[in-house]
Amino acid sequence: MVLMDTICRIFEANHWHLTKRKRQVLQVLIDHQTECLTVCDIYRYAEKVYPGIGISTVYRNICLYYSLHILRKFSIYNKQNYYELIDPAHTDSHPYYICSQCGRMKGILDREVVEAFCNCKQKMMTDYAFHIESAKLVYYGICEACNTQEKNG
């Protein structure tokens, strides 16, 4: 609920109203905030919970949330755009993984992993006098769900 309150304040500060549809799309993002989703993923989740919502409504809202810095956007090999809800409680950069079978992208928020990632960035800046403007670490492999399916298949 804290995240929704924070986002409501962002809307108010930018003179936007959080309409029913905006709130519905936002709720889907909050419900799946550990995932990085495409517009189609968001639409599929929204359609299950809010029948009748259109993909154009989802797309317009995603564009708005991105412009308000509520979402982070990733383009992977210029094929897909993935969106991740920006949680003020997790402002540190973190690595991601992408499953080479199902295409799912997920942020790794484990404290130890994030700490190691941040330490690596710090070491690059200190030891190599390299000013990092942004960093994105993506692991590619097979996710747990696809591994399980492969073993049982």
CB 113 within 8 A of CB 99: no
CB 59 within 8 A of CB 14: no
Single residue among 68, 87, 106 that ends a domain in this structure: 87
Single residue among 87, 122, 140 that ends a domain in this structure: 87
Whole-number average pLDDT of the chain:
87
End-to-end CA distance of the chain: 40
Q: Which domain holds residue 47?
A: 1-87
104 and 70 co-located in one domain: no
Paired tokens of 128: 């190599």
Question: Which residues are part of a known binding site for Fe cation?
Answer: 115
Question: Which residues are part of a known binding site for Zn(2+)?
Answer: 99, 102, 143, 146
Residue 89 pLDDT: 65
Question: Which residues are part of a known binding site?
Answer: 99, 102, 115, 143, 146
User: How are beta strands 35-36 and 71-76 bridged, if at all?
Assistant: unpaired
Indicate the range of 55-59, 74-78, 140-144 predicted with least confidence.
Answer: 74-78
- Asked if residue 56 has pLDDT above 90, the reply is yes
Q: What is the pTM of this model?
A: 0.77
Count of domains for the chain: 2
Q: What's the whole-number mean pLDDT along residues 44-52?
A: 95
81 and 17 co-located in one domain: yes
Q: What's the whole-number mean pLDDT along residues 39-44?
A: 95
97 and 138 co-located in one domain: yes
59 and 12 co-located in one domain: yes
Single residue among 65, 87, 109 that ends a domain in this structure: 87
6 and 75 co-located in one domain: yes
Binned at pLDDT 50, 70 and 90, residue 60 comes out as: very high
CATH number of the domain residue 130 falls in: 3.30.1490.190
**Partners of 5 in the beta sheet?**
none
Binned at pLDDT 50, 70 and 90, residue 88 comes out as: low
Residue 78 pLDDT: 57
Residue 1 pLDDT: 63
Residue 150 pLDDT: 79
Query: Distances in Å between the alpha carbon of 132 and those of 76, 107, 124?
Result: 20, 20, 8
83 and 108 co-located in one domain: no
